[in-house]
Amino acid sequence: EEIHVDYPRHYYKVRTAPSIAQGILDEVSGNVKLVLMGWPGDLPPSELASHPVKQVLQHAPAHVGVLLDRGFHGVQRILVPVGGGFHSRLAIRLAYEIGLKHNAQITALRVIREECDAEQLEDYMIQLREAIEDSLGQVPPQFTTRLVRADDVLAGVVAETRRLRYDLVVVGASDAWLSRTRLFGALTDELAEKIDCSVLLVRRHESA
């Protein structure tokens, strides 16, 4: 059973399904490109595995974003940690689209965990800029590329959010996002928990 209400740019739909997750997955089976859901909160592993957000994250044949909303008062600065992973490309793309809409400045951040000389730093910067170019075709003028030295990625990203006030951090899922005990993986979940601003975590769909 479906009810449609049409609007110029969007519409609302109410449908029946045996579960929330199944209703969303049935809808996504069409031409949906991105599913955006809210952060489910701090849940024990026994409840997280069956939560609708986790079920959609694991099974939706589309990109999935999960927003931890800590309040928005305009989006002027966006941070995108880039580690070169598969899902970081979607994070770069979404940060760009959001930034374009709000005329925001975007910082692409690479955390380096070892001491480097000038030549190695230059190589890391080239890799960072290439990751943006692979996603967007160029490095847009609203992008700033930044390298930071830290003992681990978590510490480097948290330190950057304390150095400069960001309105939104967009993070690609780690390779451990399929874990049943964490939403996106330990590192990505910890980033969301320790960052003070709103966080959008994204999982890029990989078709067969």
Q: What token pair was written down for 8?
A: 């110029």
Give pLDDT tens digits for 86-114.
Answer: 888 999 999 999 999 999 999 999 999 88
Distance spanning both ends of the chain, measured CA to CA? 31
pTM of the predicted structure, to 2 decimals: 0.86
- Helix or strand holding residue 131 (H, E): helix 118-136
CB-CB contact of 33 with 62 (8 Å): yes
CB-based contacts of 206, cutoff 8 Å, min separation 6: 86
- In the chain, the amino acid numbered 35 is V
Report the range out of 11-15, 169-173, 184-188 with the highest average pLDDT: 169-173
Please check the confidence at residue 8 and state whether its pLDDT lies above 60.
no
